[in-house]
Structure 1
Amino acid sequence: MNAIHWPQGFEPGYTDNFVSNEVIVAGLTAAQVWPLLSFAHKWPSYYGNSANVGFHDGKGPELADGVRFHFETFGFPVQAQCNECVAPAAGEPARIAWHGWAGEGDTRLDVHHAWLIEDLPGGRVRILTQETQKGRPAQELARTRPNPMLNGHQDWLDGLVQAARANGLSAPL
């Protein structure tokens, strides 16, 4: 299976916090899931922990390499810049990732949040999301049980799948 592309300094194991969530479901394709993720303003419609998505410099509404945007999640107002954005293509997975940051000094949080969406044999799709984090807030999140990042990202995945199906985007089995 394909893997996330990690920028230097954000590789799992070398950061303060890392979470990985994945679903594999039948009846959806990467092309059907992609618009719900690549158009960031749609996130709050299926993920309750996302709000107030906006774009900088007249960009948007779709994410693309280099596009700066902001949103709120986990109680943090996050500034972000998309640094990987590849729509699904025949035989190739979709990839989308951003560097996000919030706070200053001891409250500074830096993250790399990446998604991989790939079609699998048998009419299935794999949706993988992983995030690494650096900073004191990341250290605190890593110690918290249950892990709010792990649970929050699972909610995001579940909502993404439900939204794709609810929007009539499901492919026949």
Structure 2
Amino acid sequence: MHAIVWPEGYVPGFSDNFASNEVIVAGLAAARVWPLLARPEAWPTYYENCSDIAFHGAAGPELAAGTRFFFRTFGFPVECEVTEYEVPEGNRPGRVAWHGWSGEGDQRLDVHHAWLVEDLSGGRVRVLTQETQNGAPAKELAAAVPNPMINGHQAWLVGLIAAAQG
């Protein structure tokens, strides 16, 4: 199976916080999942932990490499720039990743949030989302029990799959 591509400074184990969530579901294809992930205005319809989605400039409504957008999640206002975007096609998985940032100075949070959507044998789809974070807020999130990033991203995956199945 394919893996996330990590930029320097965001490799898991060398960042302040890391979350990894994955689902594999039978009877669903990447082509059904991808549009719900690629269009951020759909996110709040299946994931309650995001709001206030807005694109900068003439971008949107679909993500694309270099696209700048904004949303609120986990109590943070997050500015984002898409750093990787490949639509799933044939045997090639779909990939989308963004660098996000929030706050300033000692309270700045920097993240790399990546998604991989791939068709597997037997009519299955795999959706993997992983995020690394750096900064004081990331250290606080990493110490929290239960881990809000793991739980929040699992809710995002569950909602995404339910929406794709519906």
TM-score (ref. length: structure 2): 0.99
How far apart, in 2, do the equivalents of 1:109 and 1:68 lie?
A: 17
Instruction: Could you list the structure 1 runs, at least 4 aligned residues long, displaced by more than 4 angstroms after superposition.
Output: none
Q: Which amino acid aligns with 2:102?
A: A
CA distance in 1, matches of 2:42, 2:57: 19
The letter of the residue matching 2:61 is: P
State the partner residue of 1:43. 43
> What's the counterpart of residue 92 of structure 2?
92
SS at match of 2:4: coil
Q: Using the TM superposition, give the Cα deviation of residue 94 of structure 1 relative to its aligned residue in structure 2, in angstroms.
A: 0.3
Q: Which residue of 1 aligns with 2:101?
A: 101
What are the equivalent positions in structure 2 for 1:78-157 lying under 5 Å apart? 78-157=78-157
Distance 1:39 1:148 in 2: 24
CA RMSD of aligned residues (A): 0.4
Aligned to 2:34: 34
Unaligned runs of 5+ in 2: none
Distance 1:46 1:27 in 2: 19
> What TM-score does the superposition give when structure 1 sets the normalisation length?
0.95
> How far apart are residue 57 of structure 1 and its match?
1.2
The one-letter code of the counterpart of 1:40 is: P
Cα distance in structure 2, aligned partners of 1:124 and 1:147: 28
Distance 2:66 2:41 in 1: 17
Q: Which amino acid aligns with 2:132?
A: T
Secondary structure at 1:91 match in 2:
coil
**Amino acid corresponding to residue 50 of structure 2 in structure 1:** S
**1:170 maps to which residue?**
none
Determine the C-alpha separation between the residues in 2 that align with 1:42 and 1:7: 27
Q: What is the CA distance between 1:125 and its match in structure 2?
A: 0.2
Shift of 1:80: 0.2
Q: Which residue of 1 aligns with 2:159?
A: 159
Size of the aligned set, in residue pairs, is 166
Between the aligned partners of 1:7 and 1:32, the Cα distance in structure 2 is 28
| Structure 1, unpaired ranges of 5+ | 167-173
